[in-house]
Chains A and B, each alone.
Chain A
Amino acid sequence: MQFSVRDLVNEDATRISRRCWSDPRVYELEKRGIFGRSWLFLGHESQIPRAGDFVQAYMCETPVILARGEDGAIHASVNSCTHRGLPVCRADHGNTKRFVCPYHSWSYRVDGSLATIPQENTLRNKPDKSALGLQRVPRVESWRGMIFGSFDPDIVALEDYLGDMRFYLDAFFQRFPEGVEFLGAPHRWVIDANWKLPVENQLGDVNHGPFLHAALISREIQERIEELGHSVVTAPGHGATFRLMPEDTPWQEVAWGMEGLGGQLGGQEVQDWLREVQARAAQRVGPLRARMKGLTYGIYPNLSFLWSNTAFKVSHPRGPGRVEYWSWAVVPAGAPDTVKRALRTNYSSFFGPGGIIEQEDSEAWSQQYRGASIDFTDDHALYYGLGLGEEAPHPELPGLVSVTANEFYARNFFARWRDELQAVEEGA
């Protein structure tokens, strides 16, 4: 069947064809139109503090080495030798002076430049090594320690791309005097699902909470979320959900979700530390953002932040029906180890590959992919119309704001997605 992208998502993005999640042709367009032209999250500066430090990353299916050079600058290079294409780095993270290809031992500096070709010694014509380094990611920028890369040399500056999401991200990052730290190697696991469903889930879908997760999230918790919850879209594809707590709320209920199990199980030291952070929150991020108790964030196209359990996640596609999900436990830098441990447990017990909540999400995402792969439903697009037109500007919060049940975050995502794919389809 022939189709054009504009047939897949209708004008106001209330009806979305199932092919968007399952069709290999759509995925090929996404590689160029979305992943070839966006800022993609690579890692955090806390992972590579010293010269020679490196971690692995992906940009869609492209393997990337993220490293700090001898000059202290951050470099992102495609992990594939210029000679025969093998990966030159196999470790998840480490510190090195050279990446060496196993096949013929071509060796590269951490900035990606080619250092040696062992075979050239016996040859009369020496190749020009300066032209044979690893493929560079053309744009690399960071903000608040978050490092992004883009294949598009002409993309807007990262700060402009993030736009008003910085206001919401800072409610978390700036709460801590020393910022945040990413702990250890990311958890990585494979899910039989399309990459966009995990993204949509974290972009604003707090509505599935008391249903899919009914075994753990009670109706009372959800009613409180509905009562205080805000859903924000700062630009199509970027979104945040959070509770805005009343001004007289005791600190125990505003400490960014940790007043719950994590704080209680973490013991007195953790609770004292949280109280201290919350006591200075208004001073650090202002009175409005001090009352923000975050739920989920999404940054276009595939970065998510789960504030309530302090994890950043990336949904890396591996074809239309497979995701390699990466997830990092994130803690305040400079916090005592006991606090860091309590926070990482508050993440890994509930989310990540062994998380008691996440297992229900993975299940839903893989079942959705099955639903999206039913041939006979081409004329029965999925419904994305809940709350159409109910979002509006807010006196204090940047972006368009609404109740959490409004699916405008997803409509905005898919409208942007449609327009960007269409541009590629039409050769723009």
Chain B
Amino acid sequence: MSELSVQTTPQEQRELERFYFHEARLLDNRQFQQWLALLSEDVAYIVPSRVNTQVDNRQRGREEMLSVERELEGADSMGAPLREENLFHLALRVERAYKMNAWADNPPARTRRIIGNIELLQRDAQQWRVLNNFHLYYARPGSANCLYSGQRRDTLSRDDGGFRLCRREVILDYADIDKPTVGLLF
């Protein structure tokens, strides 16, 4: 993932930002049902585990030695990703959020996310591959205040309604998971 982003026109970059800022606002405003409408029906939502790997002696002196990819147990590995979900799982999370007895969200968390570093990596007729970073502040009364940081590796498609999220891989920057849950909608 070392390639430069593709050239975008100011208008195309603006359209991507518009999509991401809208999405962030929906999630922070807890309008999860509207967020679901931004997903394509075959959406894949993956959160790889990050493993503390052994240094590979043969790679020393080269950038591969410190590659982020080596740390990830994602959808392609036969390890154990933290999450790999589809529309059904995400809809279940959204459905739960509006139940009276979703106790881990009672009272609900207050979140604020800043989305940045939006880079269009690849574009063809149907698909846009976009990288972006987030800082997500999370505060829940009686529980914890914490910061989630990560990168989202997205694939978007487009229809009359605008962009749709087809695939999201969330690379979380944790050392040890000391947060109440990594079950949020990142």
> Could you list which residues of chain A lie within 8 angstroms of chain B, going by C-beta atoms?
90-96, 183-190, 211-212, 214-216, 261, 265, 324, 328-329, 337, 340-341, 344-345, 348-349, 352-356, 358-360, 362-364, 366-367
Contacts and interface: CB of A to CB of B under 8 A. Distances in A.
Interface residues of B, number: 39
Contact of A345 (B84, B101, B183): B84
B66 interface: no
Interface string B81-105: 1111110110011001001111110
A366 B178 CA distance: 13
Contact of B53 (A91, A211, A358): A91
B63 interface: no
Nearest to B55: A91
B176 A91 contact: no
Given A91-B54, A348-B83, 16 more contacts: A95-B54, A183-B78, A184-B51, A184-B77, A185-B80, A186-B80, A187-B80, A188-B177, A189-B177, A190-B177, A212-B103, A216-B96, A329-B80, A353-B182, A354-B82, A354-B181
B93 A356 contact: yes
Contacts of A363: 103-104, 143, 180
A184 B79 contact: yes
Interface in B91-122: 92-93, 96, 99-104
Contacts of A329: 80
B170 to A, nearest CB: 10
A423 B177 CA distance: 36
B183 A354 contact: yes
A91 B102 CA distance: 37
A184 B101 contact: no
Interface of B: 47, 49, 51-55, 73, 77-86, 88-89, 92-93, 96, 99-104, 142-143, 176-183
B177 A353 contact: yes
A97 to B, nearest CB: 11
Nearest to A210: B101
A359 B183 contact: yes
A340 B78 contact: yes
A356 B80 contact: no
A110 to B, nearest CB: 13
B103 A364 contact: yes
A216 B55 CA distance: 42
Nearest to A364: B103
A339 B85 CA distance: 15
A266 to B, nearest CB: 11
10 contacts: A91-B54, A93-B51, A93-B54, A185-B51, A187-B49, A187-B177, A189-B182, A190-B176, A353-B181, A362-B104
Contact of A348 (B53, B84, B103): B84
Which of B52, B77, B179, B183 is packed against the most chain A CB atoms within 10 Å? B183
A363 to B, nearest CB: 4
A328 B49 CA distance: 12
Task: Specify which of B53, B92, B100, B103 lies most central, judged by the most chain A CB atoms within 10 Å of its CB.
Answer: B103
Contact of B80 (A324, A328, A337, A366): A328
Most chain A C-beta atoms within 10 Å of own C-beta, residue among B93, B143, B181 = B181
Contact of A189 (B54, B55, B178): B178
A344 B99 contact: no
A286 to B, nearest CB: 31
A282 B175 CA distance: 45
A337 B75 CA distance: 12
A312 to B, nearest CB: 12
Contacts of B143: 363, 366
A32 to B, nearest CB: 26
A215 B73 CA distance: 30
A345 B180 CA distance: 20
Contacts of B53: 91-92, 94
B176 A188 contact: yes
Contacts of B49: 184-185, 187
Contacts of A94: 53-54
Given A93-B51, A265-B86, A360 B102 contact: yes
Interface centre among B86, B104, B143 (most CB of A within 10 A): B104
A352 B82 contact: yes
Contacts of B81: 344, 348
9 nearest CB pairs, A to B = A184-B79, A94-B54, A189-B177, A91-B54, A215-B99, A184-B80, A214-B101, A363-B104, A354-B182
Nearest to A328: B80
Given A184-B73, A187-B49, A190-B177, A216 B82 contact: no
Contacts of B104: 359-360, 362-363
Given A94-B53, A215-B96, A329-B80, A362 B89 contact: no
Contacts of A211: 101
Which of A91, A95, A353: most chain B Cβ within 10 A? A353
Contacts of A367: 142
A155 B79 CA distance: 34
Contacts of B78: 183-184, 337, 340
Nearest to A349: B89
Contacts of B88: 261, 265
Contacts of A358: 181, 183
**Of residues A187, A188, A341, A359, which shows the largest number of chain B Cβ atoms within 10 Å of its Cβ?**
A359
